[in-house]
Amino acid sequence: MSERKIILGIESSCDDTAAAVSINNKICSNIAATQEIHREYGGVVPELASRAHQTHIVPVVHQALERSGYTLSDLDGIAYTHGPGLMGSLLVGTSFAKAMAQSLDIPLIQVHHMKAHVLAHLIDDGSPIPPFPFLCLTVSGGHTQIIQVNAPLEMTILGQTIDDAAGEAFDKAAKMMGLPYPGGPLIDQLAKDGEPAYAFPIPKIEGLDYSFSGLKTSFLYFLQKEMRNDERFIEIHKHDLAASIQQVLIDFLLQKLRRAIRETGIKHIAVAGGVSANSFLRKRVKQLEEKEGCTTYIPAFEYCTDNAAMICTAGYYLLLEGDLGDVSKPPLARWSFTES
């Protein structure tokens, strides 16, 4: 095998159809089609997501190749999200990647979506790359994990949510305030002009795990109580409400992350996943540099939310390792870190 690897990455685990082309760890193109249809329903509708993936996948892959300047015959492998995610959505990317790899007779590489979020940190875009071992707080719409990363393909989950994910908590809180889906970025925006005037207690959970469902309920009961007194309460106080719920969510995320830093002694700290686009989280993580003597790594926005560049990077390491996919394996809606 030559040293230079050109990889096409395909991501279709949830509601973004994405494709990217990389040469080793450098990204040549990174395209995503966001599905607007779900806004009307206040959350991702799986059946609509898979239909939209079918519509988007050909033009998105075509555009990724065109922008990269490479052609199909240049590709050394096709990496795709094999799971975890929505089954219907995964099936579209999986079938497409398998058919393409087989017709081109090149390696097919099965990528774990959550591991790929972590590996987005190894993308060579000029920003500092964390040395091993590092800790990664992965916070997305489906997962919340503190991961110890010892090597590109060697990761252990130290703690994770036992119910809702952090992004889900943001989205549900936003929905309670009457905001459209996905509410996370809107809470972030509103909070910029508000103060954390309402205190919600940080959940008490053992070890390095998280739980967000109790917090969601206390926010709901609080809103219901205040709305009984004044039905304009949410509209009048939306900035302070957003700042308050954001504060407790981020405080909780940071509380366990600090504990993981102390327990492992690891001072290289990364954040990944859609919620790492949150401006308050980014600020608080940065403060770990002064407060805990850490070095922190926060990816560019385009590599925080779901993207195919991270799939290319994960694919690159799997290809080097010779860990290739099997066309007979169906995608996995649930896929543990340890299962191959």
Binding site for Zn ion (CB under 5 A): 140, 306
> What three-state secondary structure class fits 205?
coil
Is the peptide bond between 130 and the residue preceding it cis, with omega within 30 degrees of 0? no
Least distance between ligand KG4 and beta carbon 141 (Å): 3
| Dihedral of alpha carbons 119, 124, 125, 127, sign | positive
Stretch that binds ligand KG4, among 33-41, 87-95, 134-142, 213-221 (CB under 6 A): 134-142
Q: CA triplet 24, 9, 296: central angle to 5 degrees?
A: 65
Count of Cβ atoms closer than 10 Å to residue 150 Cβ? 12
Least distance between Zn ion and beta carbon 56 (Å): 17
Please list, in sequence order, all residues whose beta carbon lies within 8 angstroms of the beta carbon of residue 23, skipping any fewer than 6 positions away: 4, 5, 6, 7
Six-digit token string for 196: 């954390």
188 binds ligand KG4 (CB under 6 A): yes
Residue nearest to ligand KG4 (CB): 274
Q: Which residue, 21 or 275, has its beta carbon nearer to ligand KG4?
A: 275
Among the listed residues 275, 308, 314, 318, the single contact to ligand KG4 using CB under 6 A? 275
Query: Per CB under 6 A, which of residues 276..335 are in contact with ligand KG4?
Result: 277-278, 305-306
List alpha helices for 164-307, DSSP H.
166-176, 184-191, 213-229, 233-264, 279-286, 288-292
Among the listed residues 274, 315, 325, 331, the single contact to ligand KG4 using CB under 6 A? 274
Least distance between ligand KG4 and beta carbon 221 (Å): 22
Between CA 275 and CA 72 the distance in angstroms is 34
Query: Per CB under 6 A, which of residues 157..186 are in contact with ligand KG4?
Result: 167, 170-171, 182-185
**HSE-up (13 A, CA, CB side) for residue 43:** 13
Residue 184 interacting partner from ligand KG4, Zn ion, none (CB closer than 5 to 8 Å by kind): ligand KG4
Residue nearest to Zn ion (CB): 140
Least distance between ligand KG4 and beta carbon 277 (Å): 4
Between CA 206 and CA 106 the distance in angstroms is 46
Stretch that binds ligand KG4, among 54-62, 71-79, 140-148, 309-317 (CB under 6 A): 140-148
Least distance between ligand KG4 and beta carbon 230 (Å): 27
Interface residue list for ligand KG4 (CB under 6 A): 14, 140-142, 167, 170-171, 182-185, 188, 273-275, 277-278, 305-306
